[in-house]
Amino acid sequence: MSIIIYVPDHILYEDKSILVMNKPASLMVEPDRNGHPNLLQQVQKYIRKSTHPNNEVYAQHIHRLDRPVSGIVLFAKKKSMLRDLSEQFAQRTVKKFYQALTPASTESTSGKLMHWHYKDSKNKKAIIHLSEKPDFDPVSLSYTNTVYKEKYSLWNIELHTGKYHQIRAQLSAAGSPILGDVLYGSTIEYAPNCIALHAGRLEFTHPLTKERMCMEAVPQWLV
């Protein structure tokens, strides 16, 4: 399934420096070798149409979401803003919160998942280990989960590190693969190129005004 979106419908916030988008699941963030539609090119096209012909057109995402994941993606509209925001991510002053659906747990819980992570580039998959291992990096997230519609668990997650497929792999390692995430063990059908994982809140400092910003977007499956 290929998605072409009407960008204004997905804008959460925009000014002269930044643009915050709510990406639908199954849409890639950046171009790939197969030429799939992607959010970056659609945002660039939108800015080009809304900018005076003599003005420079610039848009660059600061971070990425996996193709099957929905949620908030932050863009810089100026190169100087890109440097500032990228440094915030590097220094981990940006806070990232997600929601996910998995098969129901027996009871509501809260806690922290801590694992060791390795990106298997050949197989495009994250490998999780319970203890320290050479070439593996420590990863962690905090969570609460509650029973949702009797047969699911709704996870509210704060991501402390941002490794490849981290949430997907860690929840699977904990025995709770995300709905539709066949790569990590889900046996429940969902939608093509979609899984029930959503980047629902992003907190960062505005690179120009230095105001602390909090962007939120509710996943479609909770509406």
pTM of the predicted protein model:
0.94
Domain coordinates in residue numbering, the chain: 98-197
What does each of the 223 residues of the chain score in pLDDT, given as a tens digit? 568 999 999 999 999 999 999 999 999 999 988 888 999 999 999 999 887 777 778 999 999 999 999 999 999 999 999 999 999 999 999 999 999 999 987 666 899 999 999 999 999 999 999 999 999 999 999 999 999 988 899 999 999 999 999 999 999 999 999 999 999 999 998 888 899 999 999 999 999 999 999 999 999 888 7
The two tokens of residue 16 are 């002269």
**pLDDT for position 32:** 87
Asked whether 139 and 115 are in contact (CB, 8 A), the reply is yes
d(CA 139, CA 61): 23
Beta bridge partners of 117: 128, 137
How does pLDDT run across 33-80, given as a tens digit for each residue?
A: 888 899 999 999 999 988 777 777 899 999 999 999 999 999 999 999
Nearest by Cα to 98 from 60, 142, 138, 148: 142
Rounded-to-integer distance, Cα 152 and Cα 97, Å:
19
Topology at the third CATH level for domain 98-197: Pseudouridine synthase (3.30.2350)
Q: How far is CA 207 from CA 52, 56, 83, 88, in A?
A: 23, 19, 9, 9
DSSP secondary structure code for residue 38 in this structure: B
Name, in order, each residue with C-beta under 8 angstroms of 121's C-beta and a sequence gap of 6 or more.
none
Neighbours of 117 (CB within 10 A): 22
Q: Which of 74, 45, 88 is nearest to 205 (CA)?
A: 88
